[in-house]
Structure 1
Amino acid sequence: MATSLKSLSQYSDKNLVDMSTKKFGIVVSEWNDEITEALYKGALETLLKHGVKKYNIFRKNVPGSFELSLGAQWLAQLDEIDAVICLGCVIQGETRHFDFICDAVAHGITNVSLKYNKPVIFGVLTPNNQQQALDRAGGKHGNKGDEAAITAIKMLGF
């Protein structure tokens, strides 16, 4: 569904299971940190709101979105981690670099999830410009970090 039709921060909280013992890894890209820090804040607040204990949330930073897949794999391979949330932002530029990075990250995150049989969530913005990123990192379209966190919670209740 297009973001313009729905806020990323609006979701149904029906049928959620107890998260008080679940452990989450959050991998955050340092590139476009104004955006990724806002995404992290949204994800963290949503996890806490739904009963996840702060000491059960483990944050790791990686240099850029391309490195999210490996960071996610390092966390997913830990038996104590129940779900991993990947947060990044790749803004369209003038070259095809955007296409290659986005494709690699999407495939990499999917592969980690399948390899470790646990939720590894794609919380990566792929906007055309900085303003679109801001709009989706706590702006007029909500926060993709919220959406990524609630997705992880719902997948653990599957």
Structure 2
Amino acid sequence: MATAEQHYILDRPSFDKPVKILIVVAPYYKDIADNLVAGAKAEIEAAGGTWDLIEVPGALEVPTAISIADRLSNFDGYVALGCVIRGETTHYETVCNDSSRAIQLMGLNGLCIGNGILTVENRPQAEVRADVNDQNKGGGAAAAALHLVALSRKWASASKGVGFKSISDSIKLAGDTKDTPTA
């Protein structure tokens, strides 16, 4: 089997406030999923973050679980994990395309999601990609989520520059003593 090409990896982000990440995994191929989760946990912990873990039946349920968690909980980011191995039917394309598209749409709407759902031709490809000591795609997905959290925090704290200011910053109400000197 050919070795993966080397690629650049961003430095791990650092945080002033703790980061809480939800790992959502579809353990259809349990051994592969366990390796993905191990990589994700290690990366989150190395960044000083905490994680929670939930399991769902398959890759198609991962985006739904993330969406539910976003509406009903307080996570800073999400890691989507699972594995889809090509079979004999077109179900592979449906699962790969629909799970990826849903995750991407949530990301475009502001969620910080690292997508580590493997889409491979065969089991050996999945094993190499999931292995913490090889390609470590679970750790890579967690790193992606952490980088997006860092980016969203950076821009959320920006108070001047590009964009609109809150109207409350420019309007004074009668009786407002915020800027009135005291006697």
Give the TM interval when normalised to the shorter protein.
Answer: 0.7 to 0.9
1:5 maps to which residue? 5
TM-score (norm 1): 0.86
Q: Which runs of 5+ in 2 are unaligned?
A: 152-183
Residue of 101, 104, 115 corresponding to 1:107 = 101
Q: Distance in 2 between matches of 1:99 and 1:64?
A: 14
Residue of 38, 42, 61 corresponding to 1:41 = 38
TM-score (norm 2): 0.75
Q: Distance in 2 between matches of 1:148 and 1:25?
A: 12
Q: Distance in 2 between matches of 1:71 and 1:152?
A: 16
1:47 match: secondary structure: helix
2:9 match: secondary structure: coil
**Range with bigger deviation, 123-132 or 75-84:** 75-84
**1:84 matched to 2:78:** yes
Q: Distance in 1 between matches of 2:132 and 2:106?
A: 30
**1:30 matched to 2:27:** yes
Letter in 2 for 1:63: P
CA shift, 1:19, in A, is 6.5
Question: CA offsets per residue over residues 90-139 of structure 1, 9 Å max, x none?
Answer: 00111111001100001111222334x22122111011100000010116
1:95 maps to which residue? 89
Map 1:79-158; keep pairs closer than 5 Å. Answer: 80-115=74-109, 117-138=110-131, 141-158=134-151
Q: Work out whether residues 102 and 126 of structure 1, in 8 Å CA contact, stay in contact via their aligned partners in 2.
A: yes
Distance 1:127 1:156, change over 3 A: same
The structure with the greater share of residues assigned to helix is 1
Q: Work out whether residues 19 and 48 of structure 2, in 8 Å CA contact, stay in contact via their aligned partners in 1.
A: no
Distance 1:19 1:80, change over 3 A: farther
Letter in 1 for 2:58: G
**1:57 matched to 2:55:** no
Runs of 4+ in 1 over 3 A off after TM superposition: none
User: What is the number of equivalent residue pairs in this alignment?
Assistant: 149
Q: Calculate percent identity across the aligned residue pairs.
A: 29
